């Protein structure tokens, strides 16, 4: 047989895949890594009207992810349905154009259950008694009453236990924790009225107050260095859309796009066209390779946006994307001519605030959108501005400081390279 002749395989009959196999295939699209599990479970809590959500992770989320909320809960008779594919309370009939919830496909819980051991405890009333359902590999391990105030707790253990190839390409625990932290900040900014807490290996590392104020939530998420650097955006109404938000001044930039937050109808998304239009407004005033810190909230009628584009629902299609993007750009340019918004200090106080700031700095080695790196031994410094894109002007208790921007950047790169080659360690 010639070498270029295609190999003919024996023809196999067409058959329907077993449920367990099709569930694992679907899970591969929805559950890419532990942060995706956190996203799906926290968004379920938002849909349930939760005002408080707590997330606990261990072992980078591969050993354990637990998400508890005070939402409306699930009735015991419906709990088993929650783990069935395409079973949902958020969509009825065929009116996909009127979806107002974050979830709608009925795929998250069954996808998670297909690649882990999952336990759901939920109560839909105030009697103090709920119901527990535990599954592993499609088998029910527990189906029984359990004490629980109104709300839901979902516990995921041994993620990807039956997918060794996926498990082998997961990052170090510290890397996965960084991704989870990034996701938690995005979710917090998308739902500023909900108090959100994150613990990593039993250590509280991130918390928002649920104040409802977008600027406050941005500061709680990215650090106190933004406290007096934010400008309000809008509100503006155009093409049936209402646009508002906050943006940091041109002197506050990041090396990556991780702190560009676009929220459409309560959902954190990444519409590429809108991102390009928004960044175009910054291009004349930002150094090359730097990106803005912004939270833009867009509210449109449900039939004006297509959310069924991406398996993880990160990409969407807006009918009036260009008009909205151009309006957002004008808002940004106008905001840069005003004074930054004045914020009150002390969103979190005492040890909680110190722990959160330290974790934000520590997690900067895992992804590029974290808060500023804190160097031990330096006093607290307040950013004043930038001189000719070469020097950074800071103010401290002892007076003014001038920092060579190029040398500081080299030092940051050196510290990150050094940290990357250090032995794996989790936050204490």
Q: Which of 174, 207, 240 is the last residue of a domain?
A: 207
Q: Which of 335, 365, 389 is the last residue of a domain?
A: 335
The 10s digit of each residue's pLDDT in 216-257 is 999 999 988 888 889 889 899 998 999 999 998 877 888 888
Between CA 155 and CA 192 the distance in angstroms is: 24
Return the pLDDT at 198.
97
The CA-based dihedral angle spanning residues 297, 299, 303, 307, taken in that order and rounded to the nearest 10 degrees: 20
User: Do both 199 and 236 map to the same domain?
Assistant: no
User: Do both 24 and 155 map to the same domain?
Assistant: yes
Confidence of residue 105 (pLDDT cuts 50, 70, 90): low
In a domain, 344, yes or no: no
Return the pLDDT at 277.
86
In a domain, 214, yes or no: no
Lowest-confidence pick of 80-84, 224-228, 251-255, 340-344:
340-344
Q: Residue 273: which CATH number?
A: 3.30.230.10
User: Do both 280 and 407 map to the same domain?
Assistant: no
User: Do both 159 and 64 map to the same domain?
Assistant: yes
Range of the domain at 420: 377-428
Return the pLDDT at 289.
83
Does the pLDDT of residue 171 top 70, yes or no?
Answer: yes
Mean pLDDT of 53-66: 97
In a domain, 2, yes or no: no
In a domain, 351, yes or no: no
Lowest-confidence pick of 34-43, 74-83, 113-122:
74-83
Q: Can you give the pTM of this predicted structure?
A: 0.74
User: Do both 234 and 186 map to the same domain?
Assistant: no
Q: Which of 177, 207, 237 is the last residue of a domain?
A: 207
Q: Residue 79: which CATH number?
A: 3.30.565.10
User: Do both 187 and 155 map to the same domain?
Assistant: yes
Six-digit token string for 172: 């170090």
In a domain, 10, yes or no: no
| Residue 102: closest CA among 191, 210, 235, 194 | 191
In a domain, 350, yes or no: no
Burial 142-176, CB ≥16 within 10 A → b, else e:
eeeebebebbbbbbbbbbbebbeebeeebeebbbb
335 neighbors 234 (Cβ within 8 angstroms)? no
User: Do both 174 and 40 map to the same domain?
Assistant: yes
Phi-psi sector, 59: left (phi>0), alpha (psi -120 to 50), beta: left
How many domains is the chain partitioned into structurally? 3
> How many percent of the chain have pLDDT more than 90?
37
User: Do both 288 and 381 map to the same domain?
Assistant: no
Dump the DSSP string for 305-365: EE-TTSTTS---EETTHHHHHHHHHHHHHHHTTSPPBP--S-SS-HHHHHHHHHHHHHGGG
Does the pLDDT of residue 50 top 90, yes or no?
Answer: yes
In a domain, 7, yes or no: no
User: Do both 425 and 295 map to the same domain?
Assistant: no
Residue 414, φ and ψ in degrees, nearest 5: -60, -45
Return the pLDDT at 366.
44
Does the pLDDT of residue 301 top 50, yes or no?
Answer: yes
User: Which CA distances in Å does 410 have to 81, 95, 191?
Assistant: 54, 54, 36
The 10s digit of each residue's pLDDT in 181-219 is 999 999 999 999 999 999 999 999 999 999 999 999 999
Between CA 67 and CA 52 the distance in angstroms is: 10
Dump the DSSP string for 84-134: STT--SS--TT-GGG--SS--SS-HHHHHHHTSEEEEEEESSSSSEEEEEE
| DSSP structure class, residue 370 | S
The 10s digit of each residue's pLDDT in 6-36 is 666 677 777 666 666 666 665 556 688 999 9
In a domain, 324, yes or no: yes
Other Cβ atoms less than 10 A from the Cβ of 50: the count is: 24
Return the pLDDT at 380.
59
Six-digit token string for 121: 């405890």
Between CA 187 and CA 44 the distance in angstroms is: 12
The 10s digit of each residue's pLDDT in 365-379 is 444 443 433 344 455
User: Do both 253 and 202 map to the same domain?
Assistant: no
The 10s digit of each residue's pLDDT in 133-152 is 999 877 888 999 999 999 99
> pLDDT: is 397 or 268 the higher one?
268
Six-digit token string for 184: 């938690």
Return the pLDDT at 365.
45
Average pLDDT, the chain: 79
User: Do both 177 and 35 map to the same domain?
Assistant: yes
How far the first Cα of the chain sits from its last, in Å, is: 63
Q: Report the DSSP beta bridge partners of residue 133.
A: 120, 143
Return the pLDDT at 330.
82
> pLDDT: is 132 or 26 the higher one?
132
User: Do both 74 and 191 map to the same domain?
Assistant: yes
Residue count of the chain, please give it: 428
User: Which among 68-72, 239-243, 302-306, 322-326 has the top mean pLDDT?
Assistant: 68-72
């Amino acid at each position: 047989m010639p070498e270029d002749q295609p190999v003919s395989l024996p023809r196999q009959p067409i058959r329907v895949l077993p449920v367990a196999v099709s569930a694992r295939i679907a899970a591969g699209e929805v559950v890419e890594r532990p942060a995706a599990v956190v996203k799906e479970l926290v968004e379920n809590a938002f849909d349930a009207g939760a005002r408080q959500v707590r997330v606990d992770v261990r072992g980078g989320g591969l050993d354990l992810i637990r998400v508890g909320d005070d939402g409306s809960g699930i009735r015991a008779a419906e709990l088993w349905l929650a783990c069935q594919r395409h079973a949902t309370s958020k969509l009825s009939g065929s009116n996909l154009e009127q979806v107002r919830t974050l979830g709608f496909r009925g795929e998250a819980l069954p996808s998670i259950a297909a690649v882990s051991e999952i336990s759901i405890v939920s109560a839909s009333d105030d009697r103090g008694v709920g119901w527990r359902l535990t599954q592993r590999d499609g088998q029910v391990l527990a189906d029984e009453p359990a004490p629980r105030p109104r709300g839901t707790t979902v516990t995921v253990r041994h993620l990807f236990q039956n997918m060794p190839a996926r498990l082998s390409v997961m990052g170090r625990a510290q890397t996965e924790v960084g991704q989870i932290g990034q996701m938690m900040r995005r979710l917090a900014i998308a739902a500023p009225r909900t108090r959100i807490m994150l613990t990593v290996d039993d250590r509280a590392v991130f918390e928002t107050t649920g104040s409802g104020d977008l600027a406050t939530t941005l500061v709680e998420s990215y650090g106190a260095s933004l406290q007096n650097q934010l400008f309000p955006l809008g509100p503006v109404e155009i093409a049936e859309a209402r646009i508002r938000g906050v943006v940091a001044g041109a002197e506050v930039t990041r090396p990556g796009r991780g702190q560009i937050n676009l929220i459409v109808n309560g959902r954190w998304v990444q519409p590429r066209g809108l991102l390009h239009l928004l960044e175009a407004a910054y291009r004349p005033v930002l150094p090359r390779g730097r990106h803005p810190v912004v939270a833009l909230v867009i509210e449109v009628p449900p039939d004006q946006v297509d959310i069924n584009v991406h398996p993880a629902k990160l990409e969407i299609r807006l009918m009036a994307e260009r008009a909205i993007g151009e309006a957002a750009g004008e808002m940004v340019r106008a905001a840069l001519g005003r004074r930054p918004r004045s914020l009150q200090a002390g969103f979190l106080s005492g040890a909680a605030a110190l722990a959160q700031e330290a974790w934000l700095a520590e997690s900067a080695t895992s992804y590029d959108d974290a808060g500023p790196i804190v160097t031990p031994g330096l006093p607290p410094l307040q950013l004043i501005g930038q001189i000719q894109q070469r020097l950074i002007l800071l103010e401290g208790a002892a007076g003014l400081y001038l920092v060579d921007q190029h040398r500081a950047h080299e030092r940051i790169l050196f510290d990150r390279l050094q940290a990357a080659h250090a032995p794996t360690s989790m936050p204490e």
